[in-house]
Structure 1
Amino acid sequence: MGAYAELPGVRTWYETEGGGDPLLLLHGGLSTNGTWGALRAALAADHRVFLPERRAHGHTPDVAGPLTYEDMAGDTAAFLETVVGGPAHLVGWSDGGVVALLVALARPDLVRKAVVIGTNFRPAPESFADPAMLDAMTPDGPDLAFFRELYESTSPDGPAHWPVAAAKVLRMWRTQPTLTPADLARIQAPTLVMAGDDDMISLEHTAALYRAIAPSTLAVLPAASHLAPLEHPDLVHRLILDHLTHPTPETLLPLRRASR
């Protein structure tokens, strides 16, 4: 069961499950919170899981004007304050990871620990393993057919609004986010950076994200793509749970962490 939260920027749909420390699951672009289905119950066994759907996604309506990660991060911070009632762990997949990074930067008081999966900090032309794949994505093209069906079955704006919402997301991917390593260096929350070894985000970009965030660890999953949480849910769950419940262990030969 879900409900709407009346936030300052948008009327936001969310669902909850489980008990314990609060944990936000932030879905990917053009998706719904249903994409967390393979991990939702397992994470709810140890945490109070919140699954908000961002503006123009799932059951949450679109808002006039362009879509920006900054606005969605502001919505997420408002959700933490008004619905969760305080700080929480953030687990973000793809676009949800971008939102998690921005919340950790703007509102460190609201983020305990973070996990970002298949996440970029620069626009698609700079971060995709194959930037040309974005050129094949059109609202009515076959590459987005799965996402179009998701949208048409859930959006309160109706199926006719899909081309508008999809065009906004594609424009956002081409031009955002625009974070720098210096920006990422300000993140204080311990962060697990996770990606598939055949991810849509290049491994070089993922490594740069990991290197820029001082309190971070890196997990590259073998035989995994951008859909690693669906392909290897048990492994992803174990990595998330270990990160959220244990401090980063000391290593025998620290190099990057030696100064810490």
Structure 2
Amino acid sequence: MKIIPKLFIFLLTGLFSLISTAQVQLNFNFDTPYGNNQAVGKYVEINGARIYFEEYGEGEPLLLIHGNGGSIIWMGNQIDYFKKKYRVIVADSRGQGKSELKTDSLTYKQITEDWEGLVNHLKLDSLNIIGWSDGGIIGLKMGINNKVKIKKIVSMAANLRPDTTAVHPYVVDIIKKEFDVVKLKIKEKDKTQNWNLKKQLLGLVGEQPNIPITDLSKVKAKVLILAGDEDVIKSEHSMEIYENLEKAQLCIMPGETHFTPSSNPDLFNSIANRFLSEPFKRPKSDAFINN
């Protein structure tokens, strides 16, 4: 169990930016070396970059998509749980983990196309998706594109815009400060870290996505919108996404943060599993009131 002695940790370029005063515990300890499993790990060239992925379990395909600056291991709690029920497919998104960057301008559009390419490479007829943060955005974009057949999407802590209408102002401030540091390091030609990669990852969360709310009407899959009540994403923005999806459910988890898939995986996995395994319903209260 990894203990981070702050309430919020904002995942940026694989580092923790620490905020507030409480504790969040993230579990990254697993019996299986997720993200570095030589027994199952494979590379495939997609859209000009080598993308690393792993597969676990059998049954209906389930994609697990990690957040910004993360890698396969960030979804380890979900792999552990869902590999008993599904054919779990998990990858390092472009420029992260073991996957190549091969671009000077990383976009959600590019990462979405990479995941669609992986689906086509594996010849998957239909699938489900669980995406966390950036992964939740990618899941929604795949649903909007309708280039692959998706049954259900669990989108945790996704946003359509990078501004303060969607995310809390302190997050925008953190990203701006990080950008300033990275730009200075690049100007100084500092070689201690891969500042170009960090700049591109920051560009994802600081300048993207820019998804028109009207695009959500294109999503044919059933969608569960998930967030913590103390998420970096504003609750009203999660509600906005939910209200503009034709077939959706909404769950704001009490006492939870942006990091629930790892800090409270039992809760997260049980909610996601219920949505994936049960028939979709969106009943209206007026059906009972009028009777």
TM-score normalised to structure 2 length: 0.77
Q: Give 1:63's match in structure 2, choosing from 98, 102, 106.
A: 102
- Corresponding residue for residue 136 of structure 1: 177
Identify the structure with the greater helix proportion. 1
Moved over 4 A (4+): 138-141
Aligned residue for 1:134, secondary structure, equals helix
Distance 1:57 1:254, change over 3 A: farther
5+ long unaligned stretches in structure 2: 1-36, 183-190
- Corresponding residue for residue 212 of structure 2: 180
Q: Give 1:33's match in structure 2, choosing from 67, 72, 75.
A: 72
Distance 1:252 1:105, change over 3 A: closer
Instruction: Give the distance between the partners of 1:139 and 1:23, measured in 2 at CA.
Output: 38
Q: CA deviation at 1:126?
A: 3.8
- Check if 1:201 corresponds to 2:240: no
Q: CA deviation at 1:244?
A: 1.0
Distance 1:139 1:160, change over 3 A: farther
Q: CA deviation at 1:190?
A: 0.1
Distance 1:33 1:106, change over 3 A: same
- Check if 1:106 corresponds to 2:138: no
Q: Give 2:203's match in structure 1, choosing from 147, 166, 171.
A: 171
Instruction: Give the distance between the partners of 1:3 and 1:254, measured in 2 at CA.
Output: 51
Q: Give 1:42's match in structure 2, choosing from 81, 86, 100.
A: 81
Q: CA deviation at 1:34?
A: 0.4
Residue 238 of structure 1 aligns with an amino acid whose one-letter code is S
Deviations 1:180-226 (A, max 9, x none): 22111221100000000000111111111111111000011111110
Instruction: Give the distance between the partners of 1:190 and 1:58, measured in 2 at CA.
Output: 29
Q: CA deviation at 1:85?
A: 2.8
Cα contact 2:142–2:148 (8 A) shared by 1: no
Aligned length: 239
- Check if 1:162 corresponds to 2:201: no
Cα contact 2:176–2:206 (8 A) shared by 1: no
Instruction: Give the distance between the partners of 2:283 and 2:124, measured in 1 at CA.
Output: 36
Cα contact 2:153–2:224 (8 A) shared by 1: yes
How high is the sequence identity, in percent, across the aligned residues?
25
Instruction: Give the distance between the partners of 2:278 and 2:147, measured in 1 at CA.
Output: 20
- Check if 1:189 corresponds to 2:221: yes
Distance 1:11 1:42, change over 3 A: same
Instruction: Give the distance between the partners of 2:120 and 2:149, measured in 1 at CA.
Output: 8
Identify the structure with the greater strand proportion. 2
Instruction: Give the distance between the partners of 2:241 and 2:280, measured in 1 at CA.
Output: 18
Aligned residue for 1:222, secondary structure, equals strand
Instruction: Give the distance between the partners of 1:60 and 1:252, measured in 2 at CA.
Output: 44
Residue 200 of structure 1 aligns with an amino acid whose one-letter code is V
TM-score normalised to structure 1 length: 0.85
Instruction: Give the distance between the partners of 2:236 and 2:195, measured in 1 at CA.
Output: 32
Distance 1:124 1:137, change over 3 A: farther
Larger Rg: 2
Instruction: Give the distance between the partners of 1:132 and 1:228, measured in 2 at CA.
Output: 23
Larger displacement relative to structure 2 (67-76 or 117-126) = 117-126
Aligned-residue RMSD, C-alpha: 2.1
Aligned residue for 2:255, secondary structure, equals coil
Distance 1:234 1:43, change over 3 A: same
Instruction: Give the distance between the partners of 2:149 and 2:194, measured in 1 at CA.
Output: 32
Deviations 1:71-129 (A, max 9, x none): 11111111001125332101110001111111111125421110100100112444211
Cα contact 2:129–2:153 (8 A) shared by 1: yes
Q: CA deviation at 1:70?
A: 0.5
- Corresponding residue for residue 88 of structure 1: 127
Instruction: Give the distance between the partners of 1:84 and 1:118, measured in 2 at CA.
Output: 29
Instruction: Give the distance between the partners of 2:57 and 2:180, measured in 1 at CA.
Output: 36
- Check if 1:74 corresponds to 2:74: no
- Corresponding residue for residue 232 of structure 1: 264
Instruction: Give the distance between the partners of 1:137 and 1:172, measured in 2 at CA.
Output: 13
5+ long unaligned stretches in structure 1: 142-158
- Check if 1:10 corresponds to 2:49: yes
Deviations 1:150-175 (A, max 9, x none): xxxxxxxxx96621111011122222
